[in-house]
Amino acid sequence: MSRAPEFLTLSDEAARAVAGVGGRHAALIEDAFGVLVETPGGGVSLTGDARSRAQAKKVVQAIADRADQGLDIVEADVRVAIGQARTGGGAGSAPGAGALPAGRRGQVAPKTPTQAEYLQALNRCELVFGLGPAGTGKTFLAVAHGAGLLLRGEVDRLIVSRPAVEAGERLGFLPGDMNEKVDPYMAPVWEALTDILGADQLRRRREKGEIEVAPIAFLRGRTLSHAFVIVDEAQNATRLQMKMVLTRLGEGARMVVTGDPTQVDLVNGRDSGLAHAVGLLDGVKGIGVTRFTTADVVRHPLVERIVRAYDADAAKTGRAD
């Protein structure tokens, strides 16, 4: 096979993104496919056998496309692109996803095909279930989508809810008012909102009641109109809680329910309302279901390997804990 270099003409910004700080991104591509990646100016040079060059070229083009859209490129993006090149997939883009707001690290955009599918569902459906393991972006993308709706005035409020605590603990034993009791359990959501809105705007909108945090139990009896509702860690909601929260939707409201059905902290795991609700509602008009897998993990590469190891153990033992 020929090992002659192949030169790809790229913009300066794209070439820098492919190289990465200190050549880190190029090193990841080299290690993945056994090629030599060089950026001599005006583009990227790939040296290796034809098959390896073809796979590396897909990664380079994926990174270049994102860089040319003005998106920041981090190592997670490179790893995702490498995974897609190996499996023959592609992240693609979600219609309507361009309306997502920009965060502190640049424009929010899908990194995997499943994330793109999820954003399509959020744009298309009034109720969306996002299921899958940690690190797949299901909560962050839901928050980004909801923040975009709020910023554009398409909803009046962003309401974030989740089962108050895990393992049978009770909020009443914690100090402080409701926000002080619940906020520690909402840390991933607040981090995402801070990243997208900034701390000052988040604080102002919370003070005005445009962004609200409420344990699932506090939603009982309410009708949530003209709001985007995020129900996070929903695997720890009981069947009765799930039915209650799903029926809170009022005029002009939309909802996304996220969780990992394999990580149930309820004393009786069979009482979890998430998998039960999806089983009942999958295929109902106006409802979307997106299932993430370990291939969609975009955190530290160890997270994907950890999730795979636990999944393999669960398959052997028949247990999901």
Cα dihedral 198/182/186/254 (nearest 10): -90
What pLDDT, on the 0 to 100 scale, is given for residue 321?
53
Domain residue ranges in the chain: 6-87, 97-317
Q: What is the DSSP string of 225-293?
A: -SEEEEE-SGGGSBHHHHHHHHTTB-TT-EEEEEE-TT---SSSGGGBHHHHHHHHHTT-TTEEEEE--
pLDDT bracket for residue 103 (50, 70, 90): low
pLDDT bracket for residue 255 (50, 70, 90): very high
What pLDDT, on the 0 to 100 scale, is given for residue 95?
39
What pLDDT, on the 0 to 100 scale, is given for residue 42?
83
Which has more confidence, 258 or 42? 258
Q: How far apart are the first and last CA of the chain?
A: 48
What pLDDT, on the 0 to 100 scale, is given for residue 2?
54
Rounded distance between C-alpha atoms, residue 28 and residue 37, angstroms: 10
Q: What is the mean pLDDT of residues 219-223?
A: 88
Give the list of residues 6+ apart from residue 123 with CB closer than 8 angstroms, or none. Answer: 94, 95, 96, 97, 145
pLDDT bracket for residue 232 (50, 70, 90): very high
- The pTM score is 0.67
Which has more confidence, 20 or 96? 20
Per DSSP, 101 falls in state: P
pLDDT bracket for residue 307 (50, 70, 90): confident
Residue 92, pLDDT above cutoff 50: no
Residue 93, pLDDT above cutoff 50: no
Per-residue pLDDT of 19-46, as tens digits, reads: 999 899 999 999 989 999 998 888 899 9
3-state secondary structure of 301: helix
Which has more confidence, 167 or 128? 128
Q: What is the DSSP string of 186-235?
A: GHHHHHHHHHHH-HHHHHHHHHTTSEEEEEGGGGTT--B-SEEEEE-SGG
What pLDDT, on the 0 to 100 scale, is given for residue 3?
66
What pLDDT, on the 0 to 100 scale, is given for residue 102?
61
β-pairing, 254-259 vs 227-231, is: parallel
**CATH number belonging to domain 97-317:** 3.40.50.300
Tokens of 176: 């402080």
Which has more confidence, 297 or 155? 155
Domains 6-87 and 97-317 share a fold: no
What pLDDT, on the 0 to 100 scale, is given for residue 167?
40
Which has more confidence, 91 or 226? 226
Rounded distance between C-alpha atoms, residue 269 and residue 240, angstroms: 14
**CATH number belonging to domain 6-87:** 3.30.1370.10
Residue 77, pLDDT above cutoff 90: no
Neighbours of 289 (CB within 10 A): 19
Residue 283, pLDDT above cutoff 60: yes
What pLDDT, on the 0 to 100 scale, is given for residue 301?
65
Total number of residues shown for the chain: 321
What pLDDT, on the 0 to 100 scale, is given for residue 180?
59
Q: What is the mean pLDDT of residues 80-108?
A: 61
Residue 150, pLDDT above cutoff 50: yes
Per DSSP, 146 falls in state: H
Q: What is the mean pLDDT of residues 200-213?
A: 90
Mean pLDDT, the chain, integer: 82
Q: What is the mean pLDDT of residues 121-143?
A: 92
Report the range of poorest mean pLDDT among 69-78, 137-146, 182-191, 267-276: 182-191
Residues 18 and 25: beta-carbon distance below 8 Å: yes
